[in-house]
Amino acid sequence: MTGSSISSESSVRPDGVPEQRRANERSAVAEAMRCLADVRAVTETLYEAVGELDDGRMHEPSRLPGWSRAHVITHLARNADGFVNLLTWARTGVEHAMYPSTADRDADIEEGAVRLAQVVHEDLRAASDRFAVASDRLSDSQWLATVAGRASMVFPAADIPTMRLFELWVHMIDLDVSVGFDDIPDAQFEGLLGYAVSRLDGRPDGPSVHLTVAMPDGSQRAWDLVGGSDGDVRQVSGSAAPVIAWLTGRGDGADLDGDVPALPAWG
């Protein structure tokens, strides 16, 4: 009886919250803070790339079908503002939708894409600054608040820095300005790969895949994609950069090993 009592007391705090949960929460907040530093650094890299685009190059096609570079950059600005809405929700407890509607989001991108290059750049910088300010205002407990993004996807606010970092890298590559997946710093790959997998996992139109990734430091990580398109689990392996290109629909998987399936459209 005494041993049981001691074990229980050691795993549950006086406030009734298990120690493991507290540790997980502290880890999530610490990861959010670390990732915000990465967001700031990558944002500066994006500013440099965008600042080199004159009006002609700004309105040339990007790597995304139907979108110019101005479309992509405007999307990144509106994405920052959308995350500001979610951070405000986490801070205040009052629901703020990421976007008023998908139609409004798309209209804002189309309207923004016809502007002069300097205006597009200034819009990106202003929106990114708003994101930075909103991030700095959250307390540790507010980072743990649950919010909902597009398609009613529910997640803690602590996931937002990784989501923003992912958007920055993938769409900076979409700009076709001599930046590729190989330029991602080694330490950022694991979080970005995990997020990419989470976007595809559970898709009823997707395949089931056991994915083994050779990380830049020589270690290996594995993820499982559970799909509904067939009952076979494909075995796919490769290094981090071509894997994330394939997962995001920016690569055909030709550099990967195994039975590499087609993936559902990224969205």
Q: What is the pLDDT of residues 125-162, one digit of tens each?
A: 999 999 999 999 999 999 999 999 887 789 999 999 99
Q: In terms of C-beta distances under 8 Å and separation of at least 24 residues, what long-range contacts does 115-118 make, across chains too?
A: 115/70, 115/74, 116/55, 116/58, 117/53, 117/54, 117/55, 117/57, 117/58, 117/70
Give me the residue label for tokens 């803070």: 33
Quick one: pLDDT at residue 150?
A: 82
Q: Report residue 11 CA to chain centroid gap.
A: 33
Question: From the DSSP assignment, how many helices (H) and strands (E) are in the chain?
Answer: 10, 6
| Residue ranges of the chain with per-residue pLDDT less than 70 | 1-18, 229-230, 267
Q: What's the pTM value of the predicted model, to 2 decimals?
A: 0.90
- Long-range contact list for 116-122, CB < 8 A, 24+ apart? 116/55, 116/58, 117/53, 117/54, 117/55, 117/57, 117/58, 117/70, 120/50, 120/58, 120/70, 120/73, 120/74, 120/77, 121/47, 121/50, 121/51, 121/53, 121/73
pLDDT at position 253, please? Answer: 95
First to last CA, the chain: 55
Q: What is the pLDDT of residue 29?
A: 94
Helices 160-174 and 117-136: angle between axes, nearest 10 degrees: 160
Q: Read off the pLDDT of residues 61-98 as tens digits, 9 standing for 90 and up.
A: 999 999 999 999 999 999 999 999 999 999 999 999 99
Provide CB contacts within 8 A for 219, sequence distance 6+: none
- Buried/exposed 25-64: b ≥16 CB within 10 Å, e otherwise: beebbebbeebbebbeebbeebeeebeebeeeebbeebeb
